[in-house]
Structure 1
Amino acid sequence: MTRSRAATTAGALAIACALSVPTSAFAKGPGGSQFDVEGSNQKDGGKTLESRIVYSGSTGGSKGTRSGGFTPVGDWSPPACWYEPKWTPDEFAKEFQKDWDIPNASGVGEAYNLAKEHYKNGQPYKDFNKSETGKGMWWDAVRDRGREESGDPAAFACDTATFWVENGETPNVKNAVTPEILAQLAYSRIKVPDTEITLAPEDVTKVNLPTWAWLDKATFKEVSVTAALDVAGLDISATTTAKPVSLKLEPGTSDAVTYPASGECRLNDDDSIGAPYAKGKARETPSCGIKYLRSSGDGTYKLRATITWQVDWTGTGGTGGDLPDGTFGTTQDITVQEIQSVNR
């Protein structure tokens, strides 16, 4: 086969596979390729469009609190697409054949014939590898739905057509599911609580009066998410854990000083941050806090409190390691008033 013929075949196979797994807007297929098929029998949802990865743990935040996903520090981001085991031979045969009722779609005949040769007629697979039932599975590409809908190009980078993998083997394909890939996917689903720091004075403070800030150990704790393949006979899972390690205070104005000067309050030995204000400490300097130098007038300053979370993971087979730190911050309104004096 010449190089041009091989390229044509590969392209046709990608289109052929794409036609077998449609979505509501496109026929989206294995390898992440898309083929706009007007008039085709589209569907939204269903097993063929869903990942077989299940998540448990802190995926919804703490009960009774607002929460959100944290932002990785640096340029790293979790996978926007990946490959995972999707079908047994019988399941793939059904998926492959049931969605080909696409009237008047240009090029479908050639694409179908090439894909049929590839997966059914022995070039190289025969009858969807049914003779290997129980010995492996067909793997396919899955996209992160949110990043796909936002048009993130990374969601469309998995362009390898459906391929066969024997049980116990790791595919030599980037972003094929491993414990580490599962750990990265779990990272993107961790929800952490709002950074509700305790302040003294609370909400309203005075010019040149230090405001103490702290987080108690009881409310400042680690969270984790476990990602696992829900596929019989394949035990692949990973747990990603995020532990809070520091609090960054940003006063919302340049007319302020922070304690410490960097504005970053580190974790204490007892896993708390800062120190609670108590009567008799008015003349002391807080280990974590802010002093505003100018009144907020008729408005407020937006105090931003950002937690840095240190992230690591453990997985099946004794695997594990570190992932990039994540940050998550929230803001609260602070009113700063002038100290009133009485002249006699």
Structure 2
Amino acid sequence: MGNWDPPACWYEPRSAEEFSKYVENMYEETVNTPGQHSYAKASVGMFRNEYKDGKYKNYNLDQKDEGSWWVAVRDEARWTEPEAQLCDKQPFWVENGAAPPVKNAVTPQVLAELAYNRIQLPTTEVTLAPETTTKVNLPTWAWLDKASFKEVSVTAALNVGGLNIQATTTAKPVSLKLEPGTKDAETYPASGECTINADDSIGEPYAKGKSDETPPCGVKYLRSSGDGTYKLRATITWEINWTGTGGAGGDLPNGTFGNDQDVTVQEIQSVNR
């Protein structure tokens, strides 16, 4: 959506049952896989012993109602990035109500940032009049209807080991920027930035009788596109905010989504209206 990324890794809790099942399954799969290298078997065996028969006993199952295991989690889409390797602490036990001794333990804000990365924005094309073929020096109206251009929200939640938090991240469209695809053009307004209307739409639909009016949002091409087309780029800016458990909330960096549309511009010196 923008030039900002949510965390590539973080720590989150697992119940004693979940953690023991995970370790035992990993151990069984490793030692029973044909051709598995001996160092891999030795490594997973040492890891298992640490939590089953070493520093901890039987995965702290006898304390399952008193705390939880905290484990490092990496964003699957970014696991090769250096930032995803920063969460390198081995799983550790935290008693209920205690603060995990790491900087990037999951919080409502972390959930909000992760939800931000999961928001699917609509690939909305602006409506144009004339629709795909316009004329030189003829203002082309552009608009987005509020029905297809509205808020989008994603909620992320976590309920494990006495920790019950959630966050909802909402993307609200606030403006549309038009880039004609050529220097031989003018935009309405001159900045090319069309702000949102009171009814959550952007721009104004063209209607009969408006041919002599200046569109509140649009473009005017000053030269023909010849045998080709111009790539009109419509970029929507989304304002991002979040609310979470315990009244937490705030803003996240704005997101942008751009879409190109082909526009044919014909050279006609006079237009009958």
TM-score using structure 2 length: 0.88
In the alignment, does 2:230 pair up with 1:297? no
State the match for 1:33 in structure 2: none
Given candidates 257, 265, 271, the residue that maps to 1:336 is 265
Secondary structure of 1:128 counterpart: helix
Q: Which residue of 1 aligns with 2:254?
A: 325
Q: Which residue of the partner structure matches residue 119 of structure 1?
A: 51
CA shift for structure 1 position 109: 4.3
Match of 1:146 in 2: 77
In the TM superposition, residue 86 of structure 1 has moved relative to its aligned partner by 2.8
Corresponding residue SS for 1:219: coil
Structure 1 unaligned residues grouped into runs of 5+: 1-70
Q: Distance in 2 between matches of 1:341 and 1:266?
A: 32
Q: Hey, which of these two has a bigger chunk of strand by percent?
A: 2
Residue 106 (1) aligns with residue 39 (2): yes
Deviation, 1:134, is: 1.4
Verify the 8 A CA contact 2:27 2:45 in the aligned structure 1.
Answer: no
Contact 1:195 1:305 in 2 (8 A): no
- State the alpha-carbon separation in 1 of the partners of residues 48 and 124 from structure 2: 55
Q: Give 1:87 shift.
A: 3.9
**How large is the RMSD of aligned CA atoms in angstroms?**
2.4
- The structural deviation recorded for 1:88 is 1.3
Q: Give 1:105 shift.
A: 2.3
CA distance in 1, matches of 2:256, 2:267: 34
Displacement of 1:251 in angstroms is: 0.6
1:246 deviation in Å?
A: 0.3
- Residues 318/232 of structure 1: CA separation in 2 closer, same or farther (3 Å cut): same
Q: What is the TM-score of this pair, normalised by structure 1?
A: 0.71
Look up the equivalent residue of 1:81 and give its one-letter code.
C
The residue aligned with 1:13 is none
Check 1:116–1:325 CA distance in 2 against 1; reply closer, same or farther (3 A cut): same
Deviation at 1:174, TM superposition (A): 3.0
Contiguous gaps of at least 5 residues in structure 2: none
* Cα drift, residue 96 of structure 1: 6.4
Checking the alignment, whether the CA contact within 8 Å between 1:179 and 1:319 is kept in structure 2 is yes
Look up the equivalent residue of 1:127 and give its one-letter code.
N
**Count of aligned pairs between the two proteins:** 266
Q: Any idea what SS the aligned residue of 2:104 has?
A: coil
Aligned-pair distance for 1:158?
Answer: 1.5
- 2:21 maps to 91
Identity %: 64
Counterparts of 1:104 and 1:215 in 2: how far apart (Å)? Answer: 59
Alignment check: 8 A CA contact 2:15 2:64 kept: no
Pairing 1:176–2:108 present: no
2:6 to 78, 86, 91: 78
Moved more, 246-255 or 137-146: 137-146
Deviations 1:108-128 (A, max 9, x none): 647844x466434453x3332
- Give CA-to-partner distance per residue, 1:192-250, whole Å, 9 cap, x none: 11131111111110001110111122222101000112537432111100000000101
Do residues 209 (structure 1) and 138 (structure 2) align? yes
Q: Is the 1:138–1:162 contact (alpha carbons within 8 Å) kept by the matching residues of 2?
A: yes
Deviations 1:55-75 (A, max 9, x none): xxxxxxxxxxxxxxxx12x4x
Counterparts of 1:305 and 1:277 in 2: how far apart (Å)?
18
Q: State whether structure 2 residue 96 is matched by structure 1 residue 163.
A: no
